Amino acid sequence: MTHHGSKSLRQAVLRANQLIPKAGLAALTWGNVSGVDREAGLYVIKPSGVAYEDLTEDLLVPVDLATGAVLAGDLRPSVDSETHRAFYLRWPSIGGVTHTHSTNAVAFAQAALDIPVLGTTHADTFNGPVPVARQLTVEECARDYELNTGIAIIETIGDDEAALAMPVALAANHGPFTWAASAEKSTEYAIVCEAVAEMALKTLALNPAASTPRHLQERHFKRKHGPDAYYGNAR
Amino acid sequence: MTHHGSKSLRQAVLRANQLIPKAGLAALTWGNVSGVDREAGLYVIKPSGVAYEDLTEDLLVPVDLATGAVLAGDLRPSVDSETHRAFYLRWPSIGGVTHTHSTNAVAFAQAALDIPVLGTTHADTFNGPVPVARQLTVEECARDYELNTGIAIIETIGDDEAALAMPVALAANHGPFTWAASAEKSTEYAIVCEAVAEMALKTLALNPAASTPRHLQERHFKRKHGPDAYYGNAR
Amino acid sequence: MTHHGSKSLRQAVLRANQLIPKAGLAALTWGNVSGVDREAGLYVIKPSGVAYEDLTEDLLVPVDLATGAVLAGDLRPSVDSETHRAFYLRWPSIGGVTHTHSTNAVAFAQAALDIPVLGTTHADTFNGPVPVARQLTVEECARDYELNTGIAIIETIGDDEAALAMPVALAANHGPFTWAASAEKSTEYAIVCEAVAEMALKTLALNPAASTPRHLQERHFKRKHGPDAYYGNAR
Amino acid sequence: MTHHGSKSLRQAVLRANQLIPKAGLAALTWGNVSGVDREAGLYVIKPSGVAYEDLTEDLLVPVDLATGAVLAGDLRPSVDSETHRAFYLRWPSIGGVTHTHSTNAVAFAQAALDIPVLGTTHADTFNGPVPVARQLTVEECARDYELNTGIAIIETIGDDEAALAMPVALAANHGPFTWAASAEKSTEYAIVCEAVAEMALKTLALNPAASTPRHLQERHFKRKHGPDAYYGNAR
């Protein structure tokens, strides 16, 4: 067992992190992606406060999944590391986590509103509204804040199966977290979350009573997910 | 007759597909363009779920116009292929179809509102409001959904002549479809649709009662279309 | 005298036209810039319907200032050529004209609202609201439409001195026109017009009653204009 | 002592100025950054009206901190130079100042509204609302306008300690000013100010009653600032 994470894991996590500025999901050093190696009992995550253009595989921080301790190097992990860890511990099927400060998703988080399902762009990927988690209490903010951020989201989402079914939530007054089988897939969900948030914000400006029939939502979700899916190509 | 589509058709359809990310009309693998060869009885279309940056002429999928069957290769066509096919069968004069998830046009589709004619940018290209088609029923969503999406739009637009006169519609809660004599021209209409949707959304934010006199609309449309057109250069 | 316009004039008009896509002021082939040579009695202008990336000095169209006739070549001038000509004939001090379909300025034109002076970004360049011209009548649309578009703007602005003092107006339901001593300066004004329109639209969304004290407007305008100006460097 | 500013100071101020167009914080020649050398009793600042792409270390203008006089060269400093000087004189701990015309921050300045703390993106960097300073009087606009702009902001912020605690303010109907220990850090604050302004504008469109609990604000601010900070890496 290595304490550093495998080269392939580091490559995937680096690529996923680099998608954040490329897709315009955060300014400066904001946002972070991690990927887990469950056999090795660790995940690797973006170091705190490092610019995306300076990021390399070697700068990614390996963190002990059981304890949260840094396993190698002298860099601190992302300040949100404990939120990632809470997700990995609660949801054994997930392999990667992404957090961004993308503008439109943050607007919903700050407005304390779910992102409603207003069309097929949303329903193609997310099978229901993107939920906003509850606010943390004074005590939850004072101690183990990042862990508690994860716990509040876990309360909103539910168990492992539920997490696979709804791979996104908004931390209240904060921003979106997404998770998936791999780091890169979790970042793709962050891209979708921002796109549907912008579409929803503009739709509600045009028509505050907008909605989508449930049968259309289901049809689109099932085009891409489940045993009858017929979207995409295995390449 | 080839089962693959001619090289010139594939080149044109590839270029048109590449315009989608270049013009910012869709994220990820969303959106699709096709072009038809009526003599060969086929159309070529973007494969499902393939990234635009990976797209090549060879990856485009040839589809039998009469049956919807894939004529060559092992890739699935775009999930919206049957919507394209419905248009080609109903409207013999069209040569290309484009579908995008561009943000502002989707906002009107999700709001279930036509894009009104608020100025000359719109009237230069589209001779009336961009119509939103009716919602599909539970039955239409359950079976032959993509074909029914096309049929609802055809109901809204009308016959071949009407389709040439109004080359765009919004699938309700989904997004814009455009068609034209060629694939690239249909993508150009998708660019116009997004531009006028953004302008309309901002205009309505400033003045919910905004409108354009019909005589100004007609003047602009006739500058570019019909026997008295005087826009452009034949080069 | 040449019928083609001098090389330096063509270079300046080409550069100004190329600013339109670079600054995001129009999609596709929309928009146009011209520059005048009063001694030669002609102006050169973008050809109609030509893509900006294909534009060269040789493709610019020389137009007779007195008659509106094309002086050389087989390309049509921009469809808005007669609007430019109306400005050159009425306002002897101007040397260039720009027309764009920039999104936020068009929104004000479509809303039939002046762009109000809400801050110093506006007042630094424009000494008062950007006016929207009156709608054209049925008769004005039916005959000599482009000339009448210019005449309606001239009615709004006034004489040569007034045109130098307020180098921008919105054609109702159409979009912005700007003019200046040179083609490139008129395009710079088009950039400012779009920037202040976007700022104004967002300001009014936050506070519909927003305004700016007149003494602040005057101070900023005089920093950059008139005998006491102290902005910029003569280089 | 040099009258030109050290090479390292000029390099840092050049880099910070170049961030303004790179981060989309201003069009044309708008905006300016300066950096101070307190031992030499001078600051260097962008010259007035020079395009960012033409800017070099040699073109930056050295200004006497005590008198505001240009110390070398024949270029005028930014027209806002006296506002920068007011800040340097009042706040001995700051080393750099940035002024931009970024769209969303300007919208708040023009709306005469503070940017409220609606989430953690804001609280991570700014420990309270971004304040808008009071309007200047007729007399303050008529004489020493730029100095008075600085004085009104200083009234709003307070002393040196307060300036370090809240490194940003909006000049009413004008735009944001930021300051920090270095020129580049002040430009980073300008990037944050624009990002949180856009998020706030969109949040208020979704929910005019949006707010953030004070304990969440404090938690985020203290993650990055003060003795218990745990954000970032010393590299």
Would the pLDDT of A93 be above 90? yes
Does residue D64 sit within a domain?
yes
Structure confidence at residue A1 as a pLDDT band (50, 70, 90) = very low
Catalytic sites of C, residue numbers: 124, 231
Contact of B227 with chain C, judged by CB distance below 8 Å, is answered with no
Residue D116, both tokens: 């409220």
CB contacts, 8 Å: A216 with chain B: 135-136, 141, 173
- A188 vs B contacts (CB less than 8 Å): 28
CB contact under 8 A, A76 and D216: no
Structural domain includes residue C72: yes
What was the pLDDT predicted at A220? 86
Please answer yes or no on whether D195 and A101 come within 8 Å at the CB atom.
yes
Instruction: State yes or no: pLDDT of B157 exceeds 90.
Output: yes
The pLDDT, as a whole number, for residue D27 is 94
For residue A107, which residues of chain D lie inside 8 Å, CB to CB? 199, 202-203, 205-206
Q: What is the mean pLDDT of residues D192-207?
A: 98
pLDDT confidence bin for D45, thresholds 50/70/90: very high
Q: Which residues of B are catalytic?
A: 124, 231
Contacts of C137 (CB under 8 A, 6+ apart): none
Residue C102, in any domain of the structure: yes
Q: Is D129 on the interface with A (CB under 8 A)?
A: no
Residue of B nearest to C201 (CA): B206
Q: Does B164 touch chain A (CB under 8 A)?
A: no
Residue D235 has pLDDT above 70, yes or no: no
Total domains present in chain B: 1
- Quote the pLDDT of residue C1: 45
Mean pLDDT score, B104-112: 98
Mean pLDDT of A16-20: 98
Which residue of B173, B177, B198 is the best one to mutate when testing the A interface, meaning the one whose CB has the most A CBs within 10 A?
B173
pLDDT of residue D220: 86
**Which among D191, D193, D194, D199 is the top mutation candidate for probing chain A, defined by the most A β-carbons within 10 Å of its own β-carbon?**
D199
Q: Which of residues C2 and A215 earns the better pLDDT score? A: A215
* Chain D: residue whose CA lies nearest to A114: D206
Q: Is residue B122 part of a domain?
A: no
Q: What is the pLDDT of residue D1?
A: 45
What is the structure's pLDDT at A226? 86
Q: Which residue in A29, A32, A106, A194 has the most chain D C-beta atoms within 10 A of its own C-beta, making it the best mutation to test that interface?
A: A106
What average pLDDT does chain B have?
95
Domain-embedded: residue D1: no
**Which residues of chain A does B73 touch, with a Cβ-Cβ cutoff of 8 Å?**
none
Check residue B132 and give its pLDDT: 98
pLDDT of residue A221 exceeding 50, the answer is: yes
* Chain A contact set for B104 (CB, 8 A): 202
Could you tell me how many CB contacts below 8 A there are between chain C and chain D?
90
What percent of chain C clears pLDDT 70, i.e. is strictly above it?
98
Q: What is the 3-state secondary structure (H, E, C) of chain B?
A: CCCCCCHHHHHHHHHHHHHHHHCCCCCCCCCEEEEEECCCCEEEECECCCCHHHCCHHHCEEEECCCCCECCCCCCECCCHHHHHHHHHHCCCCCEEEECCCHHHHHHHHHCCCECCCCHHHHCCCCCCECECCCCCHHHHHCCHHHHHHHHHHHHHCCHHHHHHCCEEEECCCEEEEEECCHHHHHHHHHHHHHHHHHHHHHHHHCCCCCCCHHHHHHHHHHHCCCCCCCCCCC
Best of C74, C138, C149, C173 to substitute, by most chain B Cβ atoms within 10 angstroms, is C173
Q: Note the pLDDT tens digit of each residue in C199-228.
A: 999 999 999 999 999 998 888 888 888 888
DSSP string, C60-82: SEEEETTT--B-SSSPPBPTTHH
pLDDT digits (tens, 9 = 90+) for D111-121: 999 999 999 99
Q: In D, which residues are within 8 Å of C23 by CB distance?
A: 27
CA distance C35 to chain D (A): 21
In contact, D170 and D115? CB cutoff 8 Å: yes
The whole-angstrom distance between A187's CA and the closest CA on chain B is: 11
Q: What is the pLDDT of residues D71-114, one digit of tens each?
A: 999 999 999 999 999 999 999 999 999 999 999 999 999 999 99
Q: Which residue of C has its CA nearest to D203?
A: C206
Distance (Å) from the alpha carbon of D195 to chain A's nearest alpha carbon: 8
- According to the 3-state scheme, what is the secondary structure of C172-184? CCCEEEEEECCHH
Tokens linked to C203: 């300001």
Domain that holds residue B67: 7-115+131-187
> Active-site positions of A?
124, 231
**Confidence class for position B235, pLDDT limits 50, 70, 90:** low
d(CA D184, CA D197): 20
Give yes or no for D167 touching A (CB within 8 A): no
Q: Is the pLDDT of residue B153 over 90?
A: yes
At A2 the pLDDT is 60
> Å from B224 to nearest chain C CA?
9
The pLDDT tens digits for A43-68 are: 999 999 999 999 999 999 999 999 99
Query: C61-74 pLDDT, tens per residue?
Result: 999 999 999 999 99
Encode pLDDT of A173-191 as tens digits: 999 999 999 999 999 999 9
State the Cα–Cα distance between residues D44 and D60, nearest whole angstrom. 6
- Using the beta-carbon criterion (under 8 Å), do B204 and A202 form an inter-chain contact? no
Query: Chain D closest CA to A230's CA: distance in Å?
Result: 36
Domain CATH for B83: 3.40.225.10
Asked if C141 and B216 come within 8 Å (Cβ–Cβ), the reply is yes
Report pLDDT for D111.
98
User: Closest-CA residue in chain C for D46?
Assistant: C232
Measure CB to CB from residue D230 to each of A79, A110, A174 and give the nearest one: A79
Is the Cβ pair B142, A215 closer than 8 Å?
yes
Name the pLDDT band for A235 (thresholds 50, 70, 90): low
Asked if D219's CB is within 8 angstroms of A142's CB, the reply is yes
pLDDT-derived band at B141, boundaries 50, 70, 90 = very high
- Rounded to an integer, the average pLDDT of B59-67 is 98
pLDDT single digits (tens) B167-202? 999 999 999 999 999 999 999 999 999 999 999 999
C101 belongs to a structural domain: yes
Contact D109 C119 (CB under 8 A): yes
C208 to chain D: nearest residue by CA?
Answer: D111
pLDDT of residue B1: 45
